A and B are shown apart, each in its own frame.
Chain A
Amino acid sequence: MAQMTMIQAITHALDLELARDERVLVFGEDVGKNGGVFRATEGLQQKYGPNRVFDTPLAESGIIGLANGLAIQGFRPVPEIQFFGFVFEAFDQIAGQLARTRYRTGGRYTAPVTIRSPFGGGVHTPEMHADSLEGLFVQTPGIKVVIPSTPYDAKGLLLSAIRDPDPVIFLEHMKLYRSFRQEVPEDDYTIPLGVANVVREGKHATVIAYGAMVHVALKAAEQWSKEKGLEAEVIDLRTVNPIDIETIVASIKKTNRAVVVQEAQRSAGAAAEIVAQINENAIYHLEAPVLRATPPDTVYPFGMIEDEWLPTPEYVLKTLDRVMSL
């Protein structure tokens, strides 16, 4: 066992998988010699050589197209999009091509590609770096979307993602990269995709979150308990496509109230999908409408406004109070 930050856990998982499976290739912008702009791939090129860990030209569509071609030949590419805000450049390659490879070829060719990408607010990056765009891929059949919130989960989920027979988008929240350490076993373990984690038990309301918002939700829950004596159950979704509705419903049956916390803008994203699924699967267990604690439907703001825009524990707390009063 070792204490690791999330970025160390990710490097460690890539290292394990490069060693275990020679079909795994790691590539992208600055991932080779430089070890990635966040050092997620540090030391991997020295260890596995420039044929397995390599720098590509600066072209996101090219990187994912390359991955698709490698995947149909049986490789397990793990390309990096340097910041997820740049994913629009590769949108057709992901949603139009990668996600449909299995379907269009009747399973003869598949695309077991894991796209790693940093995203997320609160670290005052320049424009187009921090956007939460996972919702776009919740509406993309053929793709899975994974967002870990802890170092332990990051390793287990990344190993599952690389071994998954289908394309996975693996989103790494920048604020969580080095914000805390956790015990991470050095041996091989996986966490199944599509299975949520109840990270705090409670009986008065359910808070559903993922990525950095899990920690915001936990802070709000502690505060709620201290101030009001009310206990929120917090669910870390871990995978936003597919969404683990079973865990959510089981919790709502107990709490009868729910708040979804999401770092992405409010409309038509993962949170909206979660609310729709709760509506279909648990409406008779609800005492109040499900509320969303999200930023407004504006363009992701510039750095000076960012902290005001992002959901805070205080905002989640207010939303919890509201859901109790309805």
Chain B
Amino acid sequence: MLAEHDRAERLMAIAKAEGLYEEIHLLKEDGTLAGSVDDISPEVMVAMYRHMVFARAFDRKAIALQRQGRIGTYAPFEGQEAAQVASAMALAPEDFVFPSYRDHAATMVLGQSPANVLLYWSGRVEGIRSPEGRHILPPSVPIATHVLHAVGAAWASRHRKEAAVSIAYFGDGATSEGDFHEALNFAGVFHLPVIFFCQNNGYAISVPFSRQSASRTIAQRAIAYDIVGVRVDGNDAFAVYRAVKEARARALHGLGPTLIEAVTFRMGAHTTADDPTRYRDQKAVVEAWQKRDPIARLRLYLESQRLWSDADEAKLQEEVRARVEAAVDEALSIAPPDMEMMFDHVYAEAPWHLAAEREEYRRSREGVSV
């Protein structure tokens, strides 16, 4: 448990935090800095950029594949690359990650194979299974339910005194759900090592945040639960990275959970089944947010520091194209599933009725009358 003086210190920090209402910025839209980034190495910065460029190319390709009928409905994340990539890069392999269904840029940074992501959106359960050496849980489809799982996993880490945290990824819509509030409350009561990472991308399908809540910000919800809240520019990879790093460090030092609101924007549709022109002036909002593009500003900064060149860019684009193509080839050339796998992993051992149903299925497939 947290010592009382640490707790008092933390309360002071919350009271002082400007980050509850105003976004913290480090990397401005023109590629210049708003503060020191000495704690972020050039290697990390370049890696962030490479991941983000790949993520965007992958995302656009996935939409194209859906349009061609080669994969099913897909949830694009363009515009949110900095929030997802930088947050994931701030984690460690032993951490437990609970993504939502739009967080593939994050999960791919953590080792989820791009081909698997395409498989998931093609209707293959294998596509959400965690890569070895990482703990990435399947995306929760009903909104916010997984935020509580992160709380439970964090309890487990603390119970065993392991240096690991849990992180839940969710959107602005999730903050209206009861499970979100229950999770923050539980984590606050028990001072658990968990990070609540909210990408406020402006819309829950068609409903804007102003209709989601009368709260000015999501970060301010932290006050009610007496936990740390931080509001960052979600298109600023450096600000996101630092916010998650700091939240992780606090969690490991017994200072409890952090609610991070990364303010970003979903440039495209909710899913490929959605038409954003029905509920917003799509052209105007995209133009406005293009000025805040997370990738463009990071490239400007890297170039200004001579960490990136046109030649690097050309080489990266080539690599990205090849990697995306390889993922598409892998996903689309995989053999169709053995249909009988529907019976696997329902229970550790199938009860008699399920075993009988499996046998009935097998016989009907073989053309034997049942």
The reply to whether chain A is a binding partner of chain B is: yes
* Chain A residues within 8 Å of B, Cβ to Cβ: 25, 51, 56-57, 59, 61-62, 64-75, 77, 92-93, 96-97, 102-110, 141-142, 144, 164-166, 194, 242-243, 245-246, 277
Q: Is B100 an interface residue (CB 8 A)?
A: no
Q: Are B182 and A69 in contact (CB under 8 A)?
A: no
Give 7 nearest A-B pairs by CB, closest first: A69-B152, A65-B148, A73-B156, A62-B182, A242-B351, A165-B348, A69-B149
- Given the complex, which residues of B lie within 8 Å of A103, measured CB to CB? 125, 344-346
Q: Is B159 an interface residue (CB 8 A)?
A: yes
**Which B131-178 residues have C-beta < 8 A from chain A?**
137-138, 140, 142, 145-157, 159, 166, 178
From B142, B179, B346, contact of A102 by CB (8 A) = B346
Q: Is B265 an interface residue (CB 8 A)?
A: no
- Assuming the contacts A56-B186, A65-B149, A243-B353, asked whether A109 and B347 have C-beta atoms less than 8 A apart, the reply is no
Q: How far is the CA of A61 from the CA of B183 in the complex (A)?
A: 9
Q: Are A92 and B142 in contact (CB under 8 A)?
A: yes
- Given the complex, which residues of A lie within 8 Å of B185, measured CB to CB? 57, 59, 62
Q: Are B152 and A71 in contact (CB under 8 A)?
A: yes
Q: Are B348 and A69 in contact (CB under 8 A)?
A: no
From A62, A96, A105, A243, contact of B129 by CB (8 A) = A105
Q: Which of B96, B153, B182 has most A Cβ within 10 Å?
A: B182
- Given the complex, which residues of A lie within 8 Å of B155, measured CB to CB? 66, 69-70
- Given the complex, which residues of A lie within 8 Å of B157, measured CB to CB? 73
Q: How far is the CA of A56 from the CA of B155 in the complex (A)?
A: 12
* Chain B residues within 8 Å of A, Cβ to Cβ: 96, 125-126, 128-130, 137-138, 140, 142, 145-157, 159, 166, 178-179, 182-183, 185-186, 189, 344-349, 351-354
How far does the Cβ of A271 sit from chain B's closest Cβ, in whole Å?
16
- Given the complex, which residues of B lie within 8 Å of A109, measured CB to CB? 137
Q: How far is the CA of A73 from the CA of B192 in the complex (A)?
A: 15
Q: Are B125 and A106 in contact (CB under 8 A)?
A: yes
Q: Are A97 and B346 in contact (CB under 8 A)?
A: no
Q: Are B348 and A110 in contact (CB under 8 A)?
A: yes
How far does the Cβ of A320 sit from chain B's closest Cβ, in whole Å?
28
Q: Are A65 and B183 in contact (CB under 8 A)?
A: yes
Q: Are B138 and A61 in contact (CB under 8 A)?
A: no
Q: How far is the CA of A67 from the CA of B182 in the complex (A)?
A: 13
- Given the complex, which residues of A lie within 8 Å of B353, measured CB to CB? 242-243, 245, 277
- Given the complex, which residues of A lie within 8 Å of B166, measured CB to CB? 69
- Given the complex, which residues of B lie within 8 Å of A73, measured CB to CB? 96, 152-153, 156-157
Q: How far is the CA of A231 from the CA of B218 in the complex (A)?
A: 67
Besides A72-B152, A97-B140, 7 other A-B contacts (C-beta < 8 A)? A66-B152, A70-B155, A96-B145, A97-B149, A102-B346, A105-B129, A142-B347
Q: How far is the CA of A217 from the CA of B129 in the complex (A)?
A: 48
- Given the complex, which residues of B lie within 8 Å of A62, measured CB to CB? 148, 151, 179, 182-183, 185-186
- Given the complex, which residues of B lie within 8 Å of A106, measured CB to CB? 125-126, 129, 344-345
From A56, A65, A75, A107, contact of B145 by CB (8 A) = A65
Nearest A residue to B186, CB-CB: A62
How far does the Cβ of B104 sit from chain A's closest Cβ, in whole Å?
16
How far does the Cβ of B128 sit from chain A's closest Cβ, in whole Å?
6
Q: How far is the CA of A75 from the CA of B158 in the complex (A)?
A: 13
How far does the Cβ of B44 sit from chain A's closest Cβ, in whole Å?
29
- Given the complex, which residues of A lie within 8 Å of B345, measured CB to CB? 102-103, 105-107
Q: How far is the CA of A74 from the CA of B354 in the complex (A)?
A: 26
From B152, B178, B352, contact of A68 by CB (8 A) = B152
Q: Are B183 and A166 in contact (CB under 8 A)?
A: no
Q: How far is the CA of A66 from the CA of B353 in the complex (A)?
A: 30
Nearest B residue to A103, CB-CB: B345
Q: Are B145 and A69 in contact (CB under 8 A)?
A: no
From A69, A71, A242, contact of B148 by CB (8 A) = A69
Q: How far is the CA of A174 from the CA of B149 in the complex (A)?
A: 30
- Given the complex, which residues of B lie within 8 Å of A277, measured CB to CB? 353
- Given the complex, which residues of B lie within 8 Å of A93, measured CB to CB? 145, 148, 179
6 pairs across A/B with beta carbons < 8 Å? A65-B183, A104-B138, A141-B354, A142-B346, A194-B352, A243-B353
Nearest A residue to B128, CB-CB: A104
Q: Are B148 and A66 in contact (CB under 8 A)?
A: yes
